[in-house]
Amino acid sequence: MKVVIGADKDGAQAKDDLIKVLNSEGYEILDLSKEGQDFVDVAVAVAKETLKETDNGKDKSEEAARGIVIDKWGTDAFMAANKLKYVICANVSDEHSARMTRRHNGALMITLGTAVVGPELLISCAQAYLEAPFDAGRHMVRIDMVNKMA
Partner 1 sequence: MEKTVISIGNDHIVTDIKERITEHLKEEGYEVIDNGTYDKLRTHYPIYGKKTAEKVVSGEAKFGVVLCGTGVGISSSADKVPGARVALVRDVSEAVYARKVLNANVVAVGGHITGVDLIAAIVDKFITTEYEKTPEHDAWISKIDALEGPKPEQTGNDHFFDEFEKKWEEGYYHD
**Is residue 40 a contact point for a second copy (CB under 8 A)?**
no
HSE-up (13 A, CA, CB side) for residue 122 = 27
Shortest distance (Å) from residue 65 CB to partner 1: 18
Q: In this chain, which of 2, 9, 48, 72 binds a second copy, going by CB under 8 A?
A: 72
Q: What are phi and psi of 63, to 5 degrees?
A: -90, -5
- The Cα 7–Cα 78 span in angstroms is 13
Phi-psi region of 56 (alpha: psi -120 to 50; beta: other; left: phi over 0): left
Residue 114 touches which of partner 1, a second copy, none (Cβ within 5-8 Å per kind): a second copy
Q: Which residues bind partner 1 (CB under 8 A)?
A: 38-40, 44, 73-76, 78-80, 82-85, 87-91, 93-97, 99-101, 104-105, 107, 113, 115-116, 120-121, 124, 135, 137-138, 140-142, 144-146, 148-150
